[in-house]
């Protein structure tokens, strides 16, 4: 249901942009584009995101310890074993993607492998497998792909303007407003869904690993290191930031206000409360 709501919201946003930039015909073209992108996103968005990050699939030959860890946690979570990927990035981070638990993948940066202890890394991967178990991965991946498409459409409107129904140039102020507000609206849609999802994945990850304190410690360490080590792929593709265990673009000002992730402090506080209650 969440995926259907997201697709409907993105489609409506596409149509509104098409209407403002190209009148009635622009709205119909935008509808066709949105339907095509929704179909494409459902089947291929996970592959697109993994390619964006130049993720390399690993197995028990190339990364035996890490793959065995994921396999054991997947068994504890009672989900199929996902594909496992590594990303050659110094920044510590991880994400899950795919359209359902039977077609899922988890990815981690080489930076997180170096920065965390084995216990902390188990907590992080348990968090990502909780996303898989909760079926968050489809909506996360689709929203990342569609938000990127909205950004491109907004840039197109800024560069080339639009046409009204009678063929005259569209109002340039409307074009500017679309270019500014459409990506903001896409971000708000992502934010509304993502923050609650992260709390649930923290709780689920703590349950799968059986160690809430390890995940809390990992989040604190990732947050601290990420302040000085940017995730370069996320800088190039900011629409994918909401997929990560820690927002790699977090910061002050509007970026912090519209972050797709809850604050690290609140996440840690909730995890430590779970540890006390165990």
178-195, pLDDT tens digit by residue? 666 666 766 666 666 677
**Nearest partner of 102 among 132, 60, 67, judged by Cα:** 132
Residues 6+ positions from 101 with CB-CB distance below 8 Å: 79, 80, 82, 132, 133, 135
What pLDDT is stored for residue 137 in this prediction? 81
Q: How many independent structural domains does the chain possess?
A: 1
Higher pLDDT, 48 or 188: 48
Q: Is the pLDDT of residue 242 over 90?
A: no
**How confident is the model at residue 189, as a pLDDT?**
63
| Separation CA 106–CA 2 (nearest Å) | 21
Q: How confident is the model at residue 176, as a pLDDT? A: 64
Task: Write the secondary structure of 196-235 as one string of H (helix), E (strand) and C (coil).
Answer: HHHHHHHHHHHHHHCCHHHHHHHHHHHHHHHCCCCCHHHH
Residue of 60, 89, 120, 128 with catalytic role: 128
The answer to whether residue 202 scores a pLDDT higher than 90 is yes
User: Which residues contact residue 81 at a Cβ distance below 8 angstroms, ignoring those fewer than 6 apart?
Assistant: 70, 71, 74
In this predicted structure, what is the pLDDT of residue 141? 66
Could you give the percent of the chain with pLDDT greater than 90? 45
**Cα–chain-centroid distance for residue 18?**
25
Burial of 119 (0-12, 13-18, 19+ CB in 10 A): middle
Average pLDDT of every residue of the chain: 82
Residue 260 has pLDDT above 90, yes or no: no
Name which of 16-25, 102-111, 192-201 the model is least confident about.
Answer: 16-25
pLDDT given at position 253: 46
Which residue in this structure is represented by tokens 């077609």?
Answer: 103
Ranges 80-89, 221-230, 240-249, most confident: 80-89
Give the domain extent around 207: 2-277
Active-site annotation holds for 128: yes
Q: What is the pLDDT of residue 9?
A: 74
pLDDT at 254: 47
Spatial contact of 206 and 215, defined as CB atoms under 8 Å apart: yes
% the chain with pLDDT above 70 = 74
State the Cα–Cα distance between residues 10 and 113, nearest whole angstrom.
Answer: 35
Q: Residue 233: pLDDT above 80?
A: yes
When pLDDT is cut at 50, 70 and 90, the band that residue 99 belongs to is: confident
């Amino acid at each position: 249901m969440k995926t259907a709501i997201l697709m409907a919201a993105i489609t409506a946003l596409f149509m509104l942009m098409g209407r403002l930039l190209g009148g009635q015909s622009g709205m119909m073209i935008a509808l066709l584009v949105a339907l095509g992108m929704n179909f494409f996103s459902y089947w291929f968005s996970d592959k697109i995101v993994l390619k964006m990050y130049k993720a390399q699939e690993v197995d028990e030959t190339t990364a035996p310890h890490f793959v065995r860890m994921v396999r054991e946690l997947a068994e504890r979570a009672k989900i199929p074993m996902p594909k496992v990927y590594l990303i050659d990035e110094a920044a510590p981070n991880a994400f899950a993607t795919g359209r359902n638990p039977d077609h899922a993948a988890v990815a981690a940066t080489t930076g997180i492998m170096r920065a965390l202890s084995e216990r902390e890394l188990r907590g992080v991967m348990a968090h990502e497998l909780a996303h898989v178990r909760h079926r968050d991965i489809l909506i996360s991946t689709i929203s990342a792909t569609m938000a990127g498409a909205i950004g491109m459409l907004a840039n197109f409107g800024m560069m080339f303007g639009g046409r009204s129904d009678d063929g005259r140039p569209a109002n340039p102020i409307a074009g500017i407003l679309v270019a500014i507000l459409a990506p903001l609206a896409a971000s708000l849609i992502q934010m509304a869904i993502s923050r609650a999802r992260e709390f649930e994945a923290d709780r689920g990850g703590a349950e799968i690993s059986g160690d809430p304190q390890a995940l809390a410690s990992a989040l604190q360490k990732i947050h601290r290191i990420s302040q000085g080590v940017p995730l370069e792929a996320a800088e190039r593709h900011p629409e994918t930031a909401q997929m990560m265990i820690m927002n790699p673009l977090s910061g002050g000002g509007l970026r912090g206000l519209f972050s797709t992730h809850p604050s690290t402090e609140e996440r840690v506080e909730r995890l430590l409360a779970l540890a006390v209650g165990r």
